[in-house]
Amino acid sequence: MTSRVRIQEADFDIAAELAALQGERTDVGAIASFVGCVRGHTREDDISALALEHYPGMTERAIEAMIVEAEARFAVQGALVIHRIGRLLPGERIVLVAVTSSHRHDAFQACEFLMDYLKTQAPFWKKETTGQGERWVDARVADDEALARWGLASANAAGSPVTAADAEGDAP
């Protein structure tokens, strides 16, 4: 069995990865996937490169735990997360999240859940290169709020945890 989590510098072949995830299974009724790419600009600046760092071993374990959580919440038959590290240029692929299930709803939900979880909980550090120099990318409140939709709190960007009630607008 191939690994469900891969951290790598090399690009990935989306079609080959999805085919391998499905394999010969005939009970798979849905494959949902998300591919993230490096943006060439933000509200503040044009980006010429993005460098990603991680802690080997720790990162893979954290993402594997996210997949286990997705399996507990949704009828997942298979899952794959590939995340690139190193120096990436605008337009290059950075992440692939793919999920198989019997039905599309679970596949879509699990894929979105994993992506929201990755954005806030995966131990990656990102540094943007702009015309003004380099800067570390800070966590965003919007990412904490996305995770809170699933009933999981995160305080990466905020001074206090963002809860599901905060994300729904029920908190003061």
DSSP letters for the chain = ---SEEEESS---HHHHHHHHHTT-SS--EEEEEEEE--SB-SS-BEEEEEEEE-TTHHHHHHHHHHHHHHHHS-EEEEEEEEE-EEE-TT-EEEEEEEEESSHHHHHHHHHHHHHHHHHHS-EEEEEEETTEEEEPPP-HHHHHHHHTTT--B-SSSSS-B-HHHHTT---
162 pLDDT band (50/70/90 cuts)? very low
Whole-prediction pTM: 0.83
Q: Quote the pLDDT of residue 168.
A: 44
Does residue 54 carry a pLDDT above 90?
A: yes
> Rounded mean pLDDT of 134-142?
76
Does residue 164 carry a pLDDT above 90?
A: no
> Rounded mean pLDDT of 117-143?
83
Q: What is the mean pLDDT of the chain?
A: 85
